[in-house]
Amino acid sequence: MNQAVQLPIFVFFALLSIDFALLIFAGRNLLRATDSHQSGSGAMAPVWGSYLAYLLLALLSSSLWWEAWLISNQEPDNIDFEAQRNAEHSARYSLILTPDGRILDFKGEITFGLTRRLKKVLSENPEIETLLLSSAGGLIYEARGAAKLIAEFGLNTEARGLCASACTLLFAAGNRRQIGMDGSLGFHSYQLRHFGGLPQINIEKEQKRDEKYLISRGVSEDFVKKVFETSAEKLWFPSADQLTKAGVTTN
């Protein structure tokens, strides 16, 4: 992020005064040194070379301080970086309310801020009954927060497109859970997608937590076991019959 550092005026003048004093001090020492050299050898080339170097140094210093002056006087960018970051995350998904206000359609990535935004939408629209899901997944922690809200507001869930990975936690939170005509559920075990991993996160512990959650939502233990035996690099797509028998979908 290339942001100019803005100096307070008093700091600017304090630093300028110090730099100017050092420049004067260096100039006095240069004059003494050149006078001594000229008295000793009489050669003028080194003397004029020193003067030229000093002049270039003074010009460079003046240029840098002029730039610093312009920076210290420019108006700060009134950018709300938190709002900007939230907007970037919100652009990765959509939450669209149908005209009758009873169905909320979620599409996209489960990312930062989803739980907060979902809570706001549900609080402002208490008539919402069903959440449609179409997502390849995303952040487990956000999915847990969203799933908690779905259960608290007593929503029904329906997979209208692919609902995979973390999205299945949202689906399982529904009161009544159905697969739409073009819907499907994809499951797999967890994986950290960061080089070297994050030492503070225990994958097995996180999986155990969601195993208990799925079972608490009425999903069979055998089915949950199968979910977390599936490689994180693959997706397991159970049949409609398997989903019904395991309690993932409801009648």
Q: What is the pLDDT of residues 163-174, one digit of tens each?
A: 999 999 999 999
Q: In the structure, what pLDDT confidence band is assigned to residue 121 with cuts at 50, 70 and 90?
A: very high
Q: How many domains, the chain?
A: 2
Do 246 and 168 form a contact (C-beta atoms < 8 A)?
no
**Could you tell me the sign of the dihedral formed by the alpha carbons of 182, 183, 187, 193, in that order?**
positive
Note whether residue 4 is domain-resident: no
| Interval 185-239: pLDDT, tens | 999 999 876 544 445 678 899 999 999 999 999 999 999 999 999 999 999 999 9
Consecutive H or E run containing 135: strand 130-135
Q: How many CB atoms lie within 10 A of CB 37?
A: 15
Where does a domain end: 53, 73, 93? 73
**Could you tell me the sign of the dihedral formed by the alpha carbons of 231, 237, 241, 243, in that order?**
positive
Note whether residue 2 is domain-resident: no
Do 112 and 93 form a contact (C-beta atoms < 8 A)?
no
Answer whether residue 2 shows pLDDT above 50: no
Where does a domain end: 43, 73, 103? 73
Do 144 and 30 fall within a single domain?
Answer: no
**Percent of the chain topping pLDDT 90:** 58
- Phi and psi for 119 in degrees, rounded to 5? -60, -40
Note whether residue 1 is domain-resident: no
Do 226 and 154 fall within a single domain?
Answer: yes
Do 224 and 116 fall within a single domain?
Answer: yes
Q: How many CB atoms lie within 10 A of CB 130?
A: 18
**Domain with 241 in it: what CATH number?**
3.90.226.10
Do 106 and 28 fall within a single domain?
Answer: no
Q: In the structure, what pLDDT confidence band is assigned to residue 1 with cuts at 50, 70 and 90?
A: very low
Measured CA to CA, the distance from residue 143 to residue 172 in angstroms comes to: 11
**Residue that wins the pLDDT comparison between 76 and 244:** 244
Do 240 and 150 fall within a single domain?
Answer: yes
Domain span at residue 231 reads: 83-191+198-245
Do 57 and 171 fall within a single domain?
Answer: no
Q: Which amino acid is at 78?
A: N
The pTM of this model reads 0.68
Q: Which amino acid is at 118?
A: L
